[in-house]
Structure 1
């Protein structure tokens, strides 16, 4: 049984909806003092494979809808956004690195999750050299990023990303972001699953916490 309400966010930086979901949750979570929030790196392609889902880019109508949708989300919410020239990317190196950052540099983790390098500046975050350039100012040096990248290919850290992905699928996830939400006092198996970067209103209603609206700039 959990003593506090909690939100576990399964995300992948390749997902534009993850970008919006994480950005907006970070905007509003400071108001939710009694809710614990954990951002858990996953591999979206693994979630799609295990759930037998098809990514939007593989279905013409879904892909066209997604592009229009995320631009509308940006305009309404004020979250900056520019569709990158390369999409989708293989983000396995980035997500493995974030697994390691979460454990080894926890105080910098949420800054490292900031994916405006990809979703605003068109940086190819599938490349290790780009990850080094983007994260060195956050982690303190290029050498530190290189150190964590080396750790990210260790067997146990590769497995942690697999475990996170399988955990999301076991909870019912079929895409990213997926939010596993538990009320205070709930049993481990008593939770609600929300999918998508625009589901924070429903999530807040489920927990009974304030939600100022999608367009509110706090």
Structure 2
């Protein structure tokens, strides 16, 4: 079976756009296994020598415009940069990594979506652990949410996230969305960007119907 692994961080709008596209297409590509893995985008940027678009004046202005164009193209609802963007998302991703180990895939994905919603739709303070608890509690019981946030603050979750982050850095990652893609022949390639779907689908030998099929899907709104 072909496989796609998308590495995610809730501070990245483009990682969410890729997540949204894959959540639509995974129901079209019946023979493609899709996995989402939390990483630390801040570490990727620092260790690769990259700079966030927001800290480059013209890139920052362009990014805000590009985000809204993409939101419209994907048929998403309200979605805009949080007031404290870019925020430190490492604690949130550590909590999500802990949750991923203890919950079923559907609840894990909905909790990941809840973190993006908290930051990019509700504009909550993503530096506060109580924000993660509140987000997770829209999907799972609050007591379990608190347990995962606590587990995320411990060394095991930190080491797990850093190990995955170092792995994709070794593969050449410099930002998100970053994909590991394996085709039916067992060949693996890496792809970057929310505008490389034609490259990915060509490599996999699957159909690409464009982005408009993502409009009006059940997950079209955060």
Q: Do Structure 1 and Structure 2 share a fold, with TM-score over 0.5?
A: yes
**CA–CA distance in structure 2, aligned partners of residues 125 and 22 of structure 1:** 20
| Runs of 5+ consecutive residues of structure 1 not aligned to the other structure | none
Task: Report the equivalent of 1:21.
Answer: 18
Question: Residues 93-131 of structure 1: CA distance to partner in whole angstroms, max 9, x if unpaired?
Answer: 110011111111133110111012211221222211111
Deviation at 1:86, TM superposition (A): 1.7
Query: Is 1:52 aligned to 2:53, yes or no?
Result: no
Asked whether the 8 Å contact 2:22–2:34 carries over to 1, the reply is no
Q: Distance in 1 between matches of 2:127 and 2:33?
A: 30
Aligned counterpart, 1:167: 167
Aligned to 2:76: 79
Aligned counterpart, 1:215: 212
For 1:9, what is the secondary structure of its paired residue?
strand
* Alpha-carbon distance, 1:45 to partner: 0.9
Q: 1:157 matched to which residue of 2?
A: 157
**Aligned mates of 1:116, 1:135 — CA distance in 2:** 11
Distance (Å, rounded) in 1 between the aligned partners of 2:118 and 2:196: 24
How does the TM-score come out when normalised to structure 1? 0.91
Q: How many residues align?
A: 211
Match of 1:103 among 101, 104, 118: 101
Q: How far apart, CA to CA, are the structure 2 residues paired with 1:202 and 1:209?
A: 11
| Structure 2: gaps of 5 or more residues | 218-222
1:94 aligns with 2:92: yes
Tell me what 1:123 maps to: 124
1:136 & 1:90 partners in 2: Cα distance? 21
Tell me the equivalent position of 1:180. 180
> Per-residue CA shift, 1:174-194, capped at 9, x if unaligned?
0011011111232xxx42222
State the distance in 2 between where 1:180 and 1:56 align.
23
TM-score normalised over the length of structure 2: 0.90
Q: Distance in 2 between matches of 1:52 and 1:82?
A: 26
Question: Would you say the 8 A contact 2:3–2:34 is kept in 1?
Answer: yes
Task: Confirm or deny: 8 A CA contact 1:179 1:194 kept in the other structure.
Answer: yes
